A and B are shown apart, each in its own frame.
Chain A
Amino acid sequence: EPEVTQTPSHQVTQMGQEVILRCVPISNHLYFYWYRQILGQKVEFLVSFYNNEISEKSEIFDDQFSVERPDGSNFTLKIRSTKLEDSAMYFCASREGLLSNQPQHFGDGTRLSIL
């Protein structure tokens, strides 16, 4: 069964450094998402992406964050100048079609640790 893949599985970065998290969505999927989960807390929506544009973003997704689909397969989340509070699990997800009543498929996540 096709899967969403994320790399790296664990990223350790110094505060203030830039970090790029990578995702390869399922190949025929059209909608892509990034979520964040701070340890022991709920899954929080960051951003959705369709047709090379951001569809919607949350209050968390400020100017330090950006997303990109550089080559038609990868979907990346960049954090420009990391803060301690960016430490969390970051999940990428993709959805097949345009209908909002279709399931999202999650990757295994990247654990981001900011020192």
Chain B
Amino acid sequence: GENVEQHPSTLSVQEGDSAVIKCTYSDSASNYFPWYKQELGKRPQLIIDIRSNVGEKKDQRIAVTLNKTAKHFSLHITETQPEDSAVYFCAAPNTGGFKTIFGAGTRLFVKA
């Protein structure tokens, strides 16, 4: 069945360092890969997404890379700041996008 694996479950970095979170997915028909940031008690907020016709997308300090052959996609945050501390989820839809599977989440701590 469909599955999305996310690693690591917890990541602690010093302010200014980079953070990388990785996901793998199983449904080869998946064509859209969003990343969500969730602060405590809040809704998941879309921070960046990538479609399967591109390999990389960047938006200021965040970037996402996609390797469709290996079914991997990664979130990269550069120059991390304390306000980047949150739980980050990757996700992938099944064929048709009727069902979205979320990864287990990565709790990112950025130490000042």
Contacts from A to B (Cβ < 8 Å): 31, 33, 41-45, 48, 50, 55-56, 58, 91, 95, 99-109
B100 to chain A, nearest CB (A): 6
Complex interface bits, B54-85 against A, C-beta within 8 A gives 1, otherwise 0: 00000000000000000000000000000000
Shortest beta-carbon contacts, A-B, top 6: A100-B97, A101-B32, A56-B98, A55-B98, A43-B102, A106-B43
- State A91–B43 Cα separation when bound (angstroms): 8
Find out whether the CB atom of B44 lies under 8 angstroms from the CB atom of A106: yes
Closest CB of chain B to A73's CB: distance in Å? 20
Query: Is A43 a contact partner of B98 (Cβ separation < 8 A)?
Result: no
Interfacial chain A residues near B43, Cβ < 8 Å: 91, 106-109
A95–B99 Cα distance when bound, in Å, is 12
Residues in chain B near residue A95, CB distance under 8 A: 97
Q: What are 23 inter-chain pairs, A to B, with CB distance below 8 A?
A: A33-B100, A41-B104, A42-B89, A42-B102, A43-B89, A45-B99, A48-B98, A50-B98, A55-B96, A56-B94, A56-B98, A58-B99, A91-B44, A100-B96, A100-B98, A101-B32, A101-B97, A102-B97, A103-B46, A104-B46, A104-B100, A106-B43, A106-B45
Are B96 and A108 neighbours in the complex by a CB distance under 8 Å? Answer: no
> Which of B46, B89, B97 meets A99, CB within 8 Å?
B97
Pair A43/B44 contact, Cβ less than 8 Å? yes
Which residue of B36, B49, B100, B105 is within 8 Å of A45 (Cβ)? B100
Do residues A45 and B34 form an inter-chain contact, with CB atoms below 8 A? no
Q: A104: which B residues are within 8 A, CB to CB?
A: 34, 46, 100
Q: How far is the CB of B96 from chain A (nearest CB, A)?
A: 6
Cα distance A6–B32 in the bound complex, in angstroms = 26
Contact pick for B49, options A31, A103, A108, A109, CB 8 Å: A103
Closest CB in chain B relative to A67 CB, distance in Å: 13
| Chain B residue contacts of A108, Cβ below 8 A | 42-43
